[in-house]
């Protein structure tokens, strides 16, 4: 999908901060919406905050404070919904029940004792019909908590991310782990009556992948299965397993949203398929879309050139014909139970960091098209409570040098700070989208000395500060937090093709004392150059999983394994290239390379079709080189 530019830097970078970060603390920040603060003379104060609301649904945080003169040893909260259609569907940190419009909540086993001036956090998801007014008659243990300043019942969606139930300092019970899903607790479901068959709308949680089941793209899975059947034997059996994993859906043109030639369905078709999967799942479905149609897209490469150009009014078209329809579709009430993750414009801002010498990138920069397009997309998407936003930060082999790193943090931070909700508009960042950089080089570290020389000084690393993605992401996350982003941001890594298993994978560090020999014999990244990005024989990597490490929301498969990065030779627009994809020599196995890959061979697999098309021989290699193996 993309090239990168090496920027040599002869100075030593700082040693990586490898110490594991503390688990991100989920903060009760940014609560907006309808809030009723009810003061009691002598016993209790209840704060009822509608943290998000959408047609037919809402989510509430409650804070109970003991304003009396003695400790509560157990508590019962009562209040009455003013409107007849209001109902609790799922609560946490308390046992919720409802009779008519009267709601009763008793303490959970762990939060019954509340000292004077202490408080308890709890909350619930609910439904409403005609209006959603705020209750006023709160009482704790039969003691009225006083009058109230009622919130309005206007069904205005509040875009601010709401804290998850896990944000309270109380234990939450563990849910039953589901294969391929996660181990993170889901909200304590203590509401009565028991959940109905209608899925309740998703709240904006801190980590959308936690406690969720990943969407299986049925069209991609069908290609995987057909390929597996055509190959047969042991390899075919392994290939068939791949169809069971969640992959992202790429919205790479207007036709991908509306439907058209070259696309098996449109955006609504994917969301409908996700609803079908939700109907037979006890967990919420998380579906990931790549937002990928900026004007002058892929400005430094040719294989994933886009349909829009800056000079042809591309920014306005992007906003009105691409982003607006996406946002309108995501906003539909029938999809409000899904967790919709968006990956924002891979490679775009990174290209503005390193590739301004290329005219298409310079134009994307000087016109403001990339920055404004991304800000427009984030504003529209952030306004939808069940949509999650992760912004692309390329990968360590591209932005790992100190200058590139700092310039990227500045540009990306400023772009996001320029949105309506600023640093609170996003959920995190993603690295290695559609690339091949290992999550971890298992047998060496960047600053380890070999023959007196640091590993990172080897020709293969060109003094880059990072040899793998995890330390890069940890440092990026810290750099963004230092820029004012909340500590709730989490990182994603695309592990779809960075496994580097198979027969050529080293099994331990080399004993060589020459740093270049050592690195070449030790690295699992078998590319000729880290600048190589097209159809590499990398191998499927870690399976999608939530919370793989502190600070990381998930390992995800963004590039669907088996889909080409670009054609090995020029394929003119026609039956084998319906959308008019370009040809980049980095996809030609016979091309000698250029400055972006240190004039090394491309290492691209031969006979590949255009970007995005199914590439069976390439898929065979990715499965054979999978690590962990299938
Ligand atoms: C292509 C897209 C494709 C995506 C996923 C990109 O390189 O340009 O058209 O959907 O890869 O395969």
Q: How many residues does the chain have?
A: 630
Q: What is the mean pLDDT of residues 561-587?
A: 96
pLDDT digits (tens, 9 = 90+) for 229-241: 999 999 999 999 9
Mean per-residue pLDDT over the chain, rounded: 86
Beta bridge partners, 105, equal 77, 96
d(CA 44, ligand 1 centre) in Å:
57
Handedness of CA 5, 7, 8, 14 (dihedral sign): negative
* pTM given for the model: 0.72
The finding on whether 304 has its CB within 6 A of some atom of ligand 1 is yes
Residue nearest to atom 4 of ligand 1 (CA): 612
Pick from 3-7, 41-45, 602-606 the range whose average pLDDT is largest.
Answer: 602-606
DSSP structure class, residue 172: -
The finding on whether 1 has its CB within 6 A of some atom of ligand 1 is yes
d(CA 304, ligand 1 centre) in Å:
7
pLDDT of residue 115: 86
Residue nearest to atom 3 of ligand 1 (CA): 612
Residues designated catalytic: 347, 565
pLDDT of residue 406: 98
> Rounded to whole angstroms, how far apart are CA atoms 307 and 297?
8
Of 297, 304, 322, best ligand 1 pocket probe by most atoms within 8 Å of the beta carbon: 304
pLDDT digits (tens, 9 = 90+) for 183-222: 333 333 333 343 334 456 768 999 999 999 999 999 999 9
- Say how many CA atoms lie within 13 Å of 272 toward its Cβ: 5
pLDDT of residue 240: 98
- Confidence class for position 125, pLDDT limits 50, 70, 90: confident
d(CA 434, ligand 1 centre) in Å:
9
The finding on whether 427 has its CB within 6 A of some atom of ligand 1 is no
Q: Examine the pLDDT at 21 and tell me if it is beyond 80.
A: no
pLDDT digits (tens, 9 = 90+) for 134-150: 999 999 999 998 755 44
> Rounded to whole angstroms, how far apart are CA atoms 471 and 14?
12
pLDDT of residue 192: 36
Q: What is the mean pLDDT of residues 619-626?
A: 98
> Rounded to whole angstroms, how far apart are CA atoms 329 and 333?
9
Q: Examine the pLDDT at 16 and tell me if it is beyond 90.
A: no
- 36 vs 103, higher pLDDT: 103
- Confidence class for position 226, pLDDT limits 50, 70, 90: very high
pLDDT of residue 451: 97
pLDDT of residue 27: 27
Strands (E) across 204-284 are located at 213-214, 249-251
Q: What is the mean pLDDT of residues 426-440?
A: 98
The finding on whether 293 has its CB within 6 A of some atom of ligand 1 is no
pLDDT of residue 48: 86
pLDDT digits (tens, 9 = 90+) for 534-570: 999 999 999 999 999 999 999 999 999 999 999 999 9
pLDDT of residue 532: 98
Q: Specify the CATH superfamily of domain 213-624.
A: 1, 4-beta cellobiohydrolase (3.20.20.40)
- 415 vs 164, higher pLDDT: 415
33-160: CATH architecture: Sandwich (2.60)
The reply to whether 213-624 shares the fold of 33-160 is no
Q: Examine the pLDDT at 620 and tell me if it is beyond 90.
A: yes
d(CA 252, ligand 1 centre) in Å:
7
Q: Examine the pLDDT at 397 and tell me if it is beyond 60.
A: yes
Q: Examine the pLDDT at 389 and tell me if it is beyond 70.
A: yes
Residue nearest to atom 11 of ligand 1 (CA): 612
The finding on whether 612 has its CB within 6 A of some atom of ligand 1 is yes
Of 261, 611, 613, 619, best ligand 1 pocket probe by most atoms within 8 Å of the beta carbon: 611
- Say how many CA atoms lie within 13 Å of 491 toward its Cβ: 30
Ordered DSSP codes for 366-412: HT-HHHHHHHHHHHHHHTSTTEEEEEE---HHHH-SHHHHHHHHHHH
User: Domain residues of the chain, as ranges?
Assistant: 33-160, 213-624
């Amino acid at each position: 999908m993309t090239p990168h530019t090496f920027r040599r830097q002869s100075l030593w970078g700082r040693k990586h901060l490898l110490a594991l970060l503390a688990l991100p603390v989920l903060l009760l920040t940014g609560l907006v919406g309808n809030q009723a603060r009810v003061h009691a003379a002598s016993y209790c104060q209840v704060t009822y905050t509608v943290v998000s609301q959408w047609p037919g649904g809402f989510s509430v945080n409650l804070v109970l404070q003991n304003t009396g003169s003695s400790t509560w040893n157990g508590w019962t909260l009562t209040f009455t919904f003013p409107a007849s259609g209001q109902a609790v569907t799922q609560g946490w940190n308390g046992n919720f029940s409802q009779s008519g419009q009267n709601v009763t909540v008793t303490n959970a086993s762990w939060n019954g004792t509340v000292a004077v001036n202490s408080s308890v956090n709890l909350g619930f998801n609910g439904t409403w019909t005609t209006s959603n007014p705020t209750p006023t008659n709160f009482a704790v243990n039969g003691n009225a908590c006083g009058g109230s300043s009622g919130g309005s019942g206007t069904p205005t969606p509040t875009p601010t991310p709401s804290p998850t139930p896990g944000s309270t300092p109380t234990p939450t019970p563990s849910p039953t782990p589901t294969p391929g899903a996660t181990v993170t607790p889901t909200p304590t479901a203590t509401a009565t009556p028991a959940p109905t068959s209608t899925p309740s709308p998703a709240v904006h949680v801190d980590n959308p992948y936690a406690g969720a089941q990943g969407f299986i793209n049925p069209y991609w899975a069908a290609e995987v299965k057909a390929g597996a059947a055509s190959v047969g034997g042991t390899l075919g059996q392994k290939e068939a397993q791949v169809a069971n994993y969640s992959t992202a859906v790429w919205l790479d043109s207007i036709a991908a949203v509306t439907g058209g030639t070259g696309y098996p369905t449109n955006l609504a078709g994917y969301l409908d398929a996700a609803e079908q999967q939700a109907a037979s799942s006890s967990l919420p479905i998380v579906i990931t879309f790549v937002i990928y149609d900026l004007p002058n897209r892929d400005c430094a490469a040719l294989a994933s050139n886009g349909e829009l150009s800056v000079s042809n009014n591309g920014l306005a078209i992007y906003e009105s014909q691409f982003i607006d329809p996406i946002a309108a579709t995501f906003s539909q009430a029938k999809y409000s139970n899904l967790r919709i993750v968006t990956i924002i414009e891979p490679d775009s801002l990174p290209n503005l960091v390193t590739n301004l010498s290329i005219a298409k990138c310079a134009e994307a920069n000087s016109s403001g098209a990339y920055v404004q397009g991304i800000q427009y997309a984030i504003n529209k998407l952030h306004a939808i409570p069940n949509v999650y936003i992760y912004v692309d930060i390329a990968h360590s082999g591209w932005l790992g040098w100190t200058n590139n790193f700092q310039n990227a943090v500045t540009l990306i931070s400023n772009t996001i700070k320029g949105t309506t909700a600023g640093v609170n508009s996003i959920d995190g960042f993603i690295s290695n989208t559609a690339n091949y950089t290992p999550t971890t080089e298992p047998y060496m570290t960047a600053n380890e000395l070999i023959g007196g020389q640091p590993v990172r000084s080897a020709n293969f690393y060109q003094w880059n500060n990072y040899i793998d993605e995890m330390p890069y992401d940890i440092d990026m996350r810290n750099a963004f937090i230092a820029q004012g982003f909340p500590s709730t941001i989490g990182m994603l890594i695309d592990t779809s093709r960075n496994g580097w298993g198979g027969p050529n994978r080293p099994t331990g560090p080399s004993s060589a004392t020459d740093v270049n020999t050592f690195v070449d014999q030790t690295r699992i990244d078998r590319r000729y150059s880290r600048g190589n990005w097209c159809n590499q024989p990398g191998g499927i990597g870690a399976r999608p999983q939530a919370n793989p490490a502190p600070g990381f929301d998930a390992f995800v498969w963004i590039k669907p394994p088996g889909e080409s990065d670009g054609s090995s030779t020029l394929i003119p627009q026609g039956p084998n290239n319906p959308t008019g994809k370009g040809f980049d020599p980095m996809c030609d196995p016979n091309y000698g390379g250029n400055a972006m890959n240190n004039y090394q061979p491309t290492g691209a697999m031969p006979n590949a079709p255009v970007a995005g098309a199914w590439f069976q021989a390439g898929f065979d290699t990715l499965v054979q080189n999978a690590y962990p193996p299938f």
